[in-house]
A and B are shown apart, each in its own frame.
Chain A
Amino acid sequence: MGMIILREVTVRYEDGTVALDNVNLTVEKSEFAFVVGPTGAGKSSLFKVLIREIVPSHGTVFVAGYDLTRMKPSQAPYLRRLVGTVFQDILLLPERTVWENVAFALRATGVASSEDKREVPRALAMVDLLDKAKAFPWQLSGGEKQKVALARALVINPLILLADEPTGNLDSQSSREVMELLLRVNRQGTTVLMATHDPFLVGSYRKRVIELNSGKIVRDYMPGVS
């Protein structure tokens, strides 16, 4: 059974806009896939469906074994502990150190503070930022900030990582570093779905590409495989 399964999923907003139109998709455990498409193609709506911020107007969604269309809103937080998220707007807390930003996720999910000493360094080590633990976000580069956001998503040990344009605001060197980290996370068994506008990035890695346009999957392919 796939880690993410969408069957005939349609998302129609109140103003009548169709964000996703009869989408069928399966992403396997430990798979890495790019989600590409122009602005308004439905990439962000797809991610919101996967963390149950949006409930589809039609169809069924399974994520990590949970049927999201039947899930009560009060259960959504428990799903989100299995699905880490990283966005283009990095959302770090400016008055807190790197360590505190990462530990914030543990606190918010009710993990005892005694776990910090074990979990925070582990997450920071995964993104190569252990030496910046005491730094504040304003002391970091764009790429480093994104790595902190990644560490915050990873510290709760998610099964799936959703990265929505994580390299959107980064230079090419930082983009490559973040990309390498995502691949490293994927190699450790986490399913990764990464939305991007960057065709060069997609072309540089031989990974599955799901192409969306006007809410429909127009192509779903593996580069180099005919």
Chain B
Amino acid sequence: MGWISLFAFFLEEAWVNLRRHLVASLATVSTVALTVGLWTSFTSASKGLETLLAWEGKKLTELRVGLKLWVKEEQAKQVVEKVQKLPFVEQVRFVHKNEALKQMERAYGNAVPFQELIGHNPLPHSLEVVCRSPEWVTQCQKVLKTFPEVDWIGHHPEAVERFLAIVNGVKVTGAALSLVLALVAFALIHNDIQITVYGRRNEIRIMQLVGATAWTVRGPLIMEGVLYGIFGSLLAVAILGSLMRILSERVPTGFAQGLLHACQLDSMTVMTVLGLGLLLAGTSALIASIRLVRVV
């Protein structure tokens, strides 16, 4: 049994079919590309947003905790140890009140000599707490509020919630759109295979008469689906890659540029796109071929 010959036969026959109904094939390849491309865009976007969060979004996971004025340096360091033990806390830094004053002077300019104006440093010791992820920030705040040494907690929880809502929205929209498009691609591939089975009825009849097994008859049809998957995925990668390049040249620096940078197509993403396209198109063709080519 020449397996290589059989594979070459499948490939050759599939290629002939693909060219035979070129317009339908192009429509199918485009739909596969759109499905896989959209899925990848949404997945990359949500991943990019999360990566951005990891880069700049430290602010979103960061809490500034002001201690009460009566808390001495030693007591503050004990608080640091307690906070450090909380499971959702990644990092805690003690900020001495003198350092806090210097930070304030830097922020408002040295033109205002705060200490001289008031005569003493009025600021309390404070902590910089970094949570493990934005989801933990609210919980962390609740726990820290129960500490008697804590006076106030500086944070904007609505920013975190808004950010998380955006990430989730991107994920859900992407999943829903991809699902709808996957169904469309599935139907189109099924339809293409049906056209092929009709167009190839003589070949199929001859194959059955000369003793081709059911899987040999189905082979070219499945291969046709695989080719749709490969071409669709490659098209998706090409379009996404070009789009990224164009956008990164035109989008001004800042958040959008950072997001684009975080969404770059790496080799892992390209492999995933190829795998997805193959899985989608190959499975559709497999099911269609089993339904349409019966063992006679």
Contacts and interface: CB of A to CB of B under 8 A. Distances in A.
B210 A112 contact: no
Contacts of A111: 2, 5
Nearest to B200: A93
B210 A114 contact: no
A136 to B, nearest CB: 15
A28 interface: no
Contacts of B9: 107-108, 113
Interface residues of A, number: 28
A55 B5 CA distance: 33
Contacts of B202: 91, 93
B206 A152 contact: yes
Given A73-B295, A91-B202, A110 B209 contact: no
Nearest to B20: A95
B210 A156 contact: yes
Contacts, number: 72
A91 B296 CA distance: 18
A85 B2 contact: no
A80 B295 contact: no
Contacts of B98: none
B211 interface: yes
Given A93-B203, A108-B206, A113 B211 contact: no
B52 to A, nearest CB: 54
Contacts of A110: 1-2, 5-6, 216
B212 interface: yes
Contact of B8 (A73, A80, A113): A113
Contact of A114 (B2, B207, B209, B296): B2
Contacts of A114: 2, 5
Contacts of A135: none
Nearest to B217: A108
Contact of A77 (B2, B4, B203, B212): B212
A78 interface: yes
Contacts of A84: 210
Contact of B211 (A53, A74, A79, A93): A79
Contacts of A141: none
B205 interface: yes
A113 B5 contact: yes
Contacts of A78: 211
Contacts of B91: none
Nearest to A94: B202
Interface of A: 51, 53, 73-74, 76-81, 84-85, 91, 93, 104-105, 107-115, 152-153, 156
7 contacts: A77-B212, A80-B210, A85-B209, A93-B203, A108-B206, A113-B5, A114-B2
Interface of B: 1-2, 4-6, 8-9, 202-203, 205-214, 216-217, 295-296
Closest 8 CB pairs of A and B: A112-B2, A81-B211, A80-B211, A108-B212, A105-B210, A108-B207, A107-B9, A112-B5
